[in-house]
Structure 1
Amino acid sequence: MKILSEKIGVIFSKIIPSPNAWTTISLFFAAFGFWSLLKNNLLIGLILFLIAGLFDKVDGLVARTLKKETPLGAFLDGVIDRYVETFLFLGLFLYVSQAKADFSLMDCFWFFLLIFGSLMTPFIKAYADHRKLITDPDKLDKMKGFFSRAIRLGLIYFGMLFSLFYPDSLMSFIIVIAILSNLAVLQRIRLAIKLI
């Protein structure tokens, strides 16, 4: 797996030798994915967000290949990750609100909970570090929640794919992911207090 990652890093570093450029490209694909969902095209939206996710991984591989790993690159990657997720969740909100005949205030609540949980999960760790609540890097590394971003997005993408065949199922995925995301937030808060 490591050898494959290195080869991918070499290939993409020859196309565009800038990790930050690949990070930015992922944002553009996410923006087009948002537009596709707004236009009720779930399949194209899914494909575009998957491509955005691919390029989000490519930036790190290119950075390691070219030995260009920098604090600025890590900062931009984290910020754009939040934009990509927000594009995805707002796009799904607009898609479901148009596709679901009985879309209700309760559905809005679940989407709010989903966005809140997805943004708060990384914030807890970053804020614990920023406020010097936890200064030991090893302890900070232990603040990984059980429901990581990769798992969260993977489940969302699976839900989008599944709903192409069973349209009414998408909201169920949203509810489950919203609950798990916020449980992950509570877990990280507990870990932060425990690791002081």
Structure 2
Amino acid sequence: MRRLMERLVAPILGRLGITPNMVTLVGLLLTVGVAAVLATGNLFLGGWLLIAAGLFDLFDGALARATNQSSRFGAFFDSIIDRYSEAVIFLGLLIHYQRADGPQTLTAISLVYCAIIGSVMVSYARARAEGLDFECETGWLGRPERITILCIGLILNWLIVALWVLAIFTNITAVQRIFHVWKAERTAKAAEQPKVRKPLWDFLRIEK
């Protein structure tokens, strides 16, 4: 899919004078539209539209590579907009459940809140780790996995199940990244410490 975009779609967008940052902003607007659909309770349609918005989100990176417009600011801007896009989707779900006012309303709203916290912490853990020069893409639920689970839940009418999965496993992923950075720092410190060569008979010493 990525190669297809880079070879076919991206050159056309480049010739039209469209920049990667423009595509990123349009993707955010599409996501706002998806959130509005979800807020009205049309979850099935919202799921398919979320898939379309997710595919559109691939265009900015493909366009940047195809037109040699990749930049650190572009990567930073795309990451920030991704966080807004994910948050606005959850906002749409919060509005939907608040308007529905059914027997599972409190549970659903609590799950959405936990999923938001977990998603934010997963992204923040990676950003903070990379700011400290640690690679941190580990963990079960990155953004593509989170969007996939949410789309499946919306389309198959398993939204509560999807929210349970997101609420639990996004936070587990954040913990996985914390442990990963802790382990990476211990490994780095161990590598920096000079190795002291002990005599062969050192193992015979018995500490009292």
TM-score interval w.r.t. the shorter chain? 0.7 to 0.9
Map of 1:182 onto structure 2: 171
Map of 2:152 onto structure 1: 158
Q: Output the TM-score relative to the length of structure 2.
A: 0.80
Q: Which amino acid aligns with 1:72?
A: F
Deviations for 1:99-148, whole angstroms, at most 9, x for unmatched residues? 46203433322111100011110101211233x3xx2xxx41x5422221
Q: 1:10 to 1:92 in 2, by over 3 A?
A: same
Uncovered stretches (5+) of structure 1, i.e. residues with no partner:
164-168
Map of 2:129 onto structure 1: 128
1:30-109 mapped onto 2 (5 Å cutoff): 30-99=31-100, 101-109=102-110
- The whole-number CA distance in structure 2 between the counterparts of 1:15 and 1:162 is 38
Shift of 1:64: 0.2
Map of 2:205 onto structure 1: none
Preserved CA contact (<8 Å) 1:25 1:52: no
Map of 2:182 onto structure 1: 193
- The whole-number CA distance in structure 2 between the counterparts of 1:146 and 1:176 is 11
Preserved CA contact (<8 Å) 1:143 1:192: no
Q: Which amino acid aligns with 2:165?
A: V
Map of 1:166 onto structure 2: none
Map of 1:13 onto structure 2: 14
- The whole-number CA distance in structure 2 between the counterparts of 1:148 and 1:80 is 16
- The whole-number CA distance in structure 2 between the counterparts of 1:49 and 1:14 is 27
Q: 1:68 to 1:176 in 2, by over 3 A?
A: same
Preserved CA contact (<8 Å) 2:108 2:163: no
Q: Which amino acid aligns with 1:120?
A: M
In the alignment, does 2:165 pair up with 1:171?
Answer: no
- The whole-number CA distance in structure 2 between the counterparts of 1:23 and 1:55 is 9
Preserved CA contact (<8 Å) 1:26 1:51: no
Shift of 1:13: 2.8
Q: Output the TM-score relative to the length of structure 1.
A: 0.85
Map of 1:147 onto structure 2: 141
- The whole-number CA distance in structure 1 between the counterparts of 2:75 and 2:41 is 33
Shift of 1:177: 1.6
Preserved CA contact (<8 Å) 2:122 2:170: yes
- The ranges of structure 1 where at least 4 consecutive aligned residues each deviate by more than 3 angstroms after the TM superposition are 96-100
